[in-house]
Structure 1
Amino acid sequence: MKKYTVRKYQPSDYTFWNDFIGQAKNATFLFHRDFMEYHKDRFEDFSLLVFDEDSLIAVLPANRNEKTVFSHQGLTYGSLVTSGKVKFKETLAALKEILMFLNQAGIQKLHIKELPFFYTGKLSDELKYLLFAANSKLYRRDLFAVLDLSQELKLSKNREEGVKRGVKNNLEVQETHDFTEFWNEILIPNLSQKHKVSPVHSLEEITFLKSKFPEDIRQFNVYHQGKIVAGTTIFETDYVAHSQYISSNSDKNELGSLDFLHYKLISEVFAGKKYFDFGISNENQGKNVNSGLSYWKESFGCGMVTQDFYEVETSNYTLLENVLL
């Protein structure tokens, strides 16, 4: 009979954890400890490792807030990350053991922020089924605007005109390793003026993350007559290029800067990827959609993909005991 055990992550697991993330079937560099820990002062880490006897079969990147554990509040997505060799039966056992471990530790609820399917190289939606079996509550649903790069690119008339304006205005797209111009001249002023907020990552934090993940975090700026007018920060994974930040000055419609930039990224720089992820347009905890932003993304030919957020009572581990017949 197989024996499963669960324990909390500890600093001595650093290499062990990262090696596992590197070969998992449903992980990205966001689950690497260097990425998770850049904001460790803001979150109480409660990441877990699941073993089948001596073999590590799953990890849960997570943080704790009082009697609730989240996977993970500091990340765009989270999941039960499993080995490529793990089958449904082992995934079931891993989730059951995690819920039992949390329950015994006095944790009442586990929140799962779903990893969208298009980020994985192998189809792996079994966790969604298991959360259903554990009587989880769907409490939020966001919409990702995603472009399938295997399909013929079909821009709307408005986007085509924007690209033409970019050509007419002799815009230049440059990749840079320095985020200072974009952060200080475009992104921070825009977010402050329009939404009264700051970027999730400070200039110091994104620069640090770039130093840790130089091939995965990339900055593309747009210049008009030598002056920066727009840019986007890309988080690149094996199958997806994701625009983490998109921003421009007030001349974006006149210059066509954002249309020109993203057309170049989609048709040239990241044409070899499976998907281009423009991210969500949701506000108010998923209850509303910014119609103008959503329309702009869809006019590149994007389809909409959901990301679900689940809450499960840890005492519901008993519901997973009789799933298999």
Structure 2
Amino acid sequence: MKITVRKFTAKDTKDWDDFVNQSNNGTIFHSRRFLGYHSEDKFHDHSLIFQKKEKVIAVLPAALIVEDGENILASHPGTSVGSCAVPIELSFSDALGIVEKLSSYGVENNFCKIRITQPPLIYSRRISQYMDFAFRKAGYHYLRREVSSILFLEHSVKENLVKFKSTHRTAIRKAEKSGVIIKQTDEYENFYKILEKNLSIRHNVSPTHSLLELLYLKELFPDRIILFGAYLKNEMIAGVINFVINGRIVLAFYVSHKKQYQELRPINLLFYKIFEWAIQQQFKAFDFGIFTVNEIPNMGLARFKENFGSSGVFRDTIELNIS
């Protein structure tokens, strides 16, 4: 049966989100609420809907970007990951058909390249690499292969704790003995000041989101964007903003602390308490985020995450050269 593709329009919003919520690998980044929070002049949305017998079988959050005068159809720049959200029961034949239709759409609409950033495989409810095979068969190549640290959550936080390196267990005890308290909080402004200062000093960059954007996202996703703060005598000294990716995965999106309190190890205790919360909420894994940038690893960051018992999975960006 023939697969068709068309550009997303506003009237498709409900059908799009209903499909993402039931899909095998949909994430918060596939949600139209997330994709739509940007101002209209920031990105040129070019999201696509794939159908078979008038039934949605895939959606692709995407945008038109221009590089060196070339039009590129790319995973939406306002998200960390994208690619096609597909059904749990996706067939091999449909995977091939979706990618074939995507590639021909790129040709017919005068794109020079198609660039896709795929979610880690562990984000899926049912592990399937049909789409990976289909992309490879159609001529897509790896542009980047970043590594993200994933911690599989056990039945209790104590079961995870025994897998921590002794240095991390010692750090947790030190933070507790020092009087550090961990709690969920809505003090985004206080955390943002810590984050902004750290990124400026260490990397000379600003956070991906402005404070207003973060507050707006929290308003849009009150149950899926969660801030945990570390406090010493009622002063926030560290924090982690977590994004609930889907029903399986929680992602640490922003992590920061006040340098003068680093020796108290508030970040170690923060993650321990976040794991405890995530297990209570029945999530399956915690994504610390990537420790590579353009495939250049930060070895210290890798070791820090490994010491919690994490392992690495790929976050791939693939590309098709059309002309």
Instruction: Establish whether TM, by shorter chain, passes 0.5.
Output: yes
Percent of paired sites with the same residue: 31
Please, which of 114, 120, 125 is the counterpart of residue 116 of structure 1?
120
Deviations, residues 199-247 of structure 1 (Å, cap 9, x unaligned): 1111111111111111111001110011110000001121111110010
Deviations, residues 266-316 of structure 1 (Å, cap 9, x unaligned): 1x2112321111101113x22x1112111111111111111111111348x
1:4 is displaced (CA, Å) by 2.0
Q: Is the 8 A contact 2:63 2:73 kept in 1?
A: yes
The answer to whether the aligner puts 1:207 opposite 2:215 as a matched pair is yes
| TM-score normalised to structure 1 length | 0.91
1:252 is displaced (CA, Å) by 4.2
1:45 is displaced (CA, Å) by 0.7
The answer to whether the aligner puts 1:164 opposite 2:163 as a matched pair is no
Q: Is the 8 A contact 2:22 2:87 kept in 1?
A: yes
Q: Is the 8 A contact 1:156 1:301 kept in 2?
A: yes
| TM-score normalised to structure 2 length | 0.92
Give the whole-Å Cα distance in 2 for the aligned partners of 1:273 and 1:15. Answer: 26
1:99 is displaced (CA, Å) by 1.1
Q: Is the 8 A contact 1:111 1:310 kept in 2?
A: yes
Q: How does 1:241-280 map to 2 (within 5 A)?
A: 241-266=250-275, 268-271=276-279, 272-280=282-290
How large is the Cα RMSD of the aligned pairs?
1.5
Give the whole-Å Cα distance in 2 for the aligned partners of 1:16 and 1:118. Answer: 25
1:138 aligns with 142
Give the whole-Å Cα distance in 2 for the aligned partners of 1:245 and 1:65. Answer: 26
The answer to whether the aligner puts 1:41 opposite 2:41 as a matched pair is yes
Give the whole-Å Cα distance in 2 for the aligned partners of 1:91 and 1:314. Answer: 20
Q: Is the 8 A contact 1:240 1:274 kept in 2?
A: yes
Q: What SS does structure 1 have at the residue aligned with 2:51?
A: strand
Q: Is the 8 A contact 1:252 1:258 kept in 2?
A: no
Give the whole-Å Cα distance in 1 for the aligned partners of 2:263 and 2:73. Answer: 47
1:194 aligns with 202
1:20 aligns with 19
Q: What SS does structure 2 have at the residue aligned with 1:38?
A: coil
Q: What SS does structure 2 have at the residue aligned with 1:251?
A: helix
Give the whole-Å Cα distance in 2 for the aligned partners of 1:195 and 1:144. Answer: 20
Q: What SS does structure 2 have at the residue aligned with 1:124?
A: coil
2:28 aligns with 29
1:94 aligns with 98
Please, which of 281, 287, 292 is the counterpart of residue 291 of structure 2?
281
The answer to whether the aligner puts 1:126 opposite 2:125 as a matched pair is no
Give the whole-Å Cα distance in 2 for the aligned partners of 1:8 and 1:314. Answer: 19
Q: Is the 8 A contact 1:164 1:256 kept in 2?
A: no
Deviations, residues 88-144 of structure 1 (Å, cap 9, x unaligned): 211211111121112111012111111111111111221111111112221211111
The answer to whether the aligner puts 1:182 opposite 2:186 as a matched pair is no
Q: Is the 8 A contact 1:6 1:98 kept in 2?
A: yes
Q: Is the 8 A contact 1:165 1:254 kept in 2?
A: no
Q: Is the 8 A contact 2:99 2:138 kept in 1?
A: no
Q: Is the 8 A contact 1:100 1:314 kept in 2?
A: no
Q: What SS does structure 1 have at the residue aligned with 2:33?
A: helix
Q: What SS does structure 2 have at the residue aligned with 1:64?
A: strand
1:58 aligns with 58
Q: Give the letter aligned to residue 290 of structure 1.
A: N
Q: Is the 8 A contact 1:218 1:234 kept in 2?
A: yes
Q: Is the 8 A contact 2:291 2:298 kept in 1?
A: yes
Deviations, residues 142-183 of structure 1 (Å, cap 9, x unaligned): 111111113842111221121011111111112113411100
Give the whole-Å Cα distance in 1 for the aligned partners of 2:135 and 2:55. Answer: 24
Q: Give the letter aligned to residue 8 of structure 1.
A: K
